Amino acid sequence: MAEATRNDAEYGEGPWFRPSTIKPGLAGWLTTTNHKRIGMLYLTAIGSFFTLAVILGVLMRVELFAPGQQIMTARQFNAMFTLHGILQIFLVVIPAIPTIFGNFSLPTLIGANDMAFPRLNLFSWYLFMTGAALAMTAVFTNGGAPDTGWTFYVPFSLKTSVNVPMATFAVFILGMSSILTGVNIVSTVHMLRAPGMSFGKMPLSVWGLYSTAWVQILATPIIGITMLLIVVERLFGIGVFDPTKGGDPLLYQHLFWIYSHPAVYIMILPAMGIMSDLFPVFSRKNIFGYKMIAFSSLAIASVGSLVWGHHMYVNGQSDTAGIVFSLLTFLVAVPSAIKVINWLATMYKGSIHIEPAFLYALSFVFLFTIGGLTGLFIGALAVDVQVHDTYFIVGHFHYIIFGGTGMGVFASLYYWFPKMTGKMVKKGQAVVAWLLTFVGFNVFYFPYLIMGWQGMPRRYFDYPAAFTGLQEIASVGAFIMVAGVALIFWNLIQGARRGEKAPANPWQGATLDWTLPSPAPLENWETPPIVIKGPYDFDHSEEGK
């Protein structure tokens, strides 16, 4: 056996996760440059941060179960929502799909053996972990956890006594990691596609990751410099954001949102791409409007970079600017709707197979549509004055980010689970987990839309008694949802440990990744595959078996 394993290490056979014979154990994992292993490093780290952030969220929902103080002080509550935001945005949602599936799946989708820059890839993971470590350290040192909200708005972030500089520096480091991942993905797509895979034959998930990578490259440097300026401002007082020295706090908001609005598309675009792969696979039907979906990803990436001012309608920018930003915001709805309508058209008269991954994909469409439509409400100048900084925004955002990206991540995990582990999950348990998550989510966040409409401001520690009923419903929904998420974790972990053996292509997908055995080998292809058919040309001869 030992002999065979050594041969495997030399010749690259066997599953991708088998221990390295040269560096067994943790050392082998921490020095790996293999794209699947790095994807798994990210999955482990991001899974932990997600768990931590969810726990913080639950604590906040416990606090908000009744008016007045329950389990924490107002100051602790401020730190809680700030940490929840920093963790979820910068350590979970932004990196999740580009780093986990951009690493694990992207090369297998385009017929490559690895990313373009494997060592840079590992370096990005170390930067990511350094940023995460700094963010965690900031919580316990030099004044304690930041209480500014994840947006670090000046002048408060310049004046508050807590450890803002370290947290913003952590975001800067995380940004560098994100940039390098983006560079790697763009280079990989340009340089390493298998022979025959033209841009028009790429799976739409690759289009999604590719568009996202461009946003990562072009938008992230702006938050990098903005966060760095907060550090410099705090340490040396250069004055650029400080009104007492002639600086302009509004400029901070511009710079912040020039990145942070496109960042929302970094979060949602790759999930949309993967959805565009899942709908054809589980409907056994070619995608409706391939070119329009691919093009709409680019359209969202480009127009989405010009809408940051819609975060600033009530902050004193000129009416003209407001009108232009509002118009551009409405324009983004067009490519988004193209995707939704094309997914539905793909299902029409398809042979629909309900699998856990597809349940999440369907939830994605339902929840993303609610999130998108509420986005149009707040994209309108007059309506936004009413709901700005209320629970309505929080509800809208979570419908897009948890309902969209979160469901997208779960869909992707269930979709590629057989390829990752070589096992199948327990389907019944997976469906129960999905139902709890989906129902819990709606019970949780739909009241947010109502409360926001009624004027409940976001980030408040306390509320008038009139909101008690809806707040309690939201808390109960949160508890149901968290039970669902816990069951998803349990289902996946148990599936990986003792699930049934998975066939090479359990969903009858037509993309290249499903031509590999399950679990995938360490080295994808001995000789590069030659691509002659499209990503959604399904082989119907397997039907009915």
Binding site for another protein (CB under 8 A): 8-13, 20, 22-23, 31-34, 113-120, 179-180, 182-184, 186-187, 190-192, 217-218, 220-222, 224-226, 228-229, 232, 236-240, 245-248, 251, 255, 522-523, 526-527
Report the C-alpha gap between 451 and 58 in whole angstroms.
Answer: 19
**Shortest Å, Cβ 117 to another protein:** 4
**Shortest Å, Cβ 183 to another protein:** 5
Compute the Cα dihedral for 278, 279, 285, 290 and give only its sign.
negative
Q: In this complex, which beta carbon is closest to another protein, that of residue 185 or of residue 411?
A: 185
Q: In this complex, which beta carbon is closest to another protein, that of residue 95 or of residue 289?
A: 95
How many helices and strands (H and E) does the chain possess?
20, 2
Q: In this complex, which beta carbon is closest to another protein, that of residue 350 or of residue 517?
A: 517
The verdict on whether omega for the bond into residue 529 sits within 30 degrees of 0, i.e. cis, is: no
**Shortest Å, Cβ 122 to another protein:** 9
Q: Which pair of tokens denotes residue 65?
A: 């179960």
Burial class (CB in 10 A: 0-12, 13-18, 19+), 245: exposed
Residues found in the chain: 545
Query: What DSSP string runs through 111-124?
Result: T-SS-S-HHHHHHH
Give CA angle at 420 (416, 425), nearest 5°: 70
Nearest to 130 by CA among 196, 175, 94: 175
If you ran DSSP here, which 8-state letter would residue 192 be given?
Answer: -
Give me the residues paired with residue 521 across strands. Answer: 15
Report the C-alpha gap between 508 and 504 in whole angstroms.
Answer: 9
Q: Are 303 and 367 in contact (CB under 8 A)?
A: no
**Shortest Å, Cβ 417 to another protein:** 23
Q: In this complex, which beta carbon is closest to another protein, that of residue 305 or of residue 405?
A: 305
**Shortest Å, Cβ 433 to another protein:** 35
**Shortest Å, Cβ 28 to another protein:** 8
| Amino acid occupying residue 503 | P
3-state secondary structure of 533: coil
Report the C-alpha gap between 40 and 421 in whole angstroms.
Answer: 11
Q: In this complex, which beta carbon is closest to another protein, that of residue 232 or of residue 383?
A: 232
| Amino acid occupying residue 289 | G
**Shortest Å, Cβ 195 to another protein:** 12
Compute the Cα dihedral for 288, 289, 293, 299 and give only its sign.
negative
Sole residue written with tokens 């629970």: 391
Q: In this complex, which beta carbon is closest to another protein, that of residue 241 or of residue 441?
A: 241
**Shortest Å, Cβ 239 to another protein:** 5
Give CA angle at 396 (261, 75), nearest 5°: 85
Q: In this complex, which beta carbon is closest to another protein, that of residue 257 or of residue 417?
A: 257
Q: In this complex, which beta carbon is closest to another protein, that of residue 118 or of residue 455?
A: 118
**Shortest Å, Cβ 525 to another protein:** 9
Q: In this complex, which beta carbon is closest to another protein, that of residue 37 or of residue 423?
A: 37
Q: In this complex, which beta carbon is closest to another protein, that of residue 35 or of residue 396?
A: 35
Report the C-alpha gap between 164 and 483 in whole angstroms.
Answer: 33
Phi, psi of 503 (to 5 degrees): -70, 170
Phi, psi of 521 (to 5 degrees): -75, 170
**Shortest Å, Cβ 190 to another protein:** 6
**Shortest Å, Cβ 435 to another protein:** 41
Nearest to 95 by CA among 207, 187, 218, 220: 220
Neighbours of 142 (CB within 10 A): 12
Q: In this complex, which beta carbon is closest to another protein, that of residue 232 or of residue 496?
A: 232
**Shortest Å, Cβ 92 to another protein:** 23
Report the C-alpha gap between 525 and 145 in whole angstroms.
Answer: 48
Q: In this complex, which beta carbon is closest to another protein, that of residue 246 or of residue 464?
A: 246
Q: Which pair of tokens denotes residue 324?
A: 């232009």
